[in-house]
Structure 1
């Protein structure tokens, strides 16, 4: 009985740590539900989750293991600026298109997963669209191409 009693505090502490880890793990990987906006790039439809607040923009596509066909994330910033993106805790290789207020792509950058390299807009923009790496190139989209359906674009 003495031996069991001396193990109880250690077992309780271990169980508490496991329970805490179990409760926090889903929260760390759970994705917020974001609105989805359908965009058009010529004949191509894009189903983009919209990240328009500082917390949703900061989280972006972190911890995602895959994207569906023609799925991505549209980042909307309050004002045009030299927006930069990075890939900390992002598991999927992505391409990002930096987009001007009129829907024109300023530039496209390919990004490697799990890096903190900055990928920046070539000019001040209000929007950035992340898609699976190579998505834009496979469809012949480049700087100067135009996207339609961006909320608030002029």
Structure 2
């Protein structure tokens, strides 16, 4: 699940907090309305010679639900979160039942940073700089393949070299 940090520093603190509370309530309502895991259309990606089938979460509602309520995920399956414009992106694992690793990706698919996330936790995991994409895979997937910051994920969402 993702949350959006207020980006307008000129807003009074109260207005920012009220907006954050309203957004959290809307996201919680969307999560409550979700009966089970969502299934989104996948896109093929590549990490070197490793094939990935990533479901694509493009809308705010799809991104809010993410991989919640999943009991398992295939070894090379994941979810690609696509945002309209680069921004600091933060994720937590409320209602997510499986441990995940998340790679925050630049516009060209290059990895900015990777974080491991514990199931059913509200701990926040954020990109180290503004990004347009985040890719969630089973925990340890990136480490087992030697994927680190600077490595480039390839596929249709990212421009060709």
Which residue does the alignment assign to 2:110?
Answer: 104
Large movers: runs of 4+ above 4 Å: none
Using the TM superposition, give the Cα deviation of residue 151 of structure 1 relative to its aligned residue in structure 2, in angstroms.
Answer: 1.3
Secondary structure of 2:155's aligned partner: coil
TM-score, length basis structure 1: 0.79
1:19 is aligned to: none
Give unmatched runs, 5+ long, in structure 2: 1-32
SS of structure 2 residue aligned to 1:108: strand
The 1:89/1:77 distance shift into structure 2, 3 A limit, reads same
1:86 corresponding residue in structure 2: 92
Give the SS at the match of 1:77.
Answer: strand
Give TM-score scaled by structure 2 length: 0.76
C-alpha contact (below 8 Å) 1:103/1:150 kept by paired residues: no
Greater per-residue helix proportion: 1
Aligned to 2:37: 31
Are 1:121 and 2:137 matched, yes or no? no
Instruction: Name the Cα RMSD after superposition.
Output: 1.3
Count matched residues.
Answer: 128
- State the secondary structure of the residue aligned to 1:136: helix
2:29 equivalent in structure 1: none
- Distance in 1 between the 2:45 and 2:125 partners? 22
Which stretches in structure 1 are left out of the alignment for 5+ residues? Answer: 1-26
Distance 2:123 2:82 in 1: 21
In 1, Cα distance between equivalents of 2:77 and 2:142? 12
In structure 2, C-alpha distance between the alignment counterparts of 1:150 and 1:103, rounded to whole Å: 10
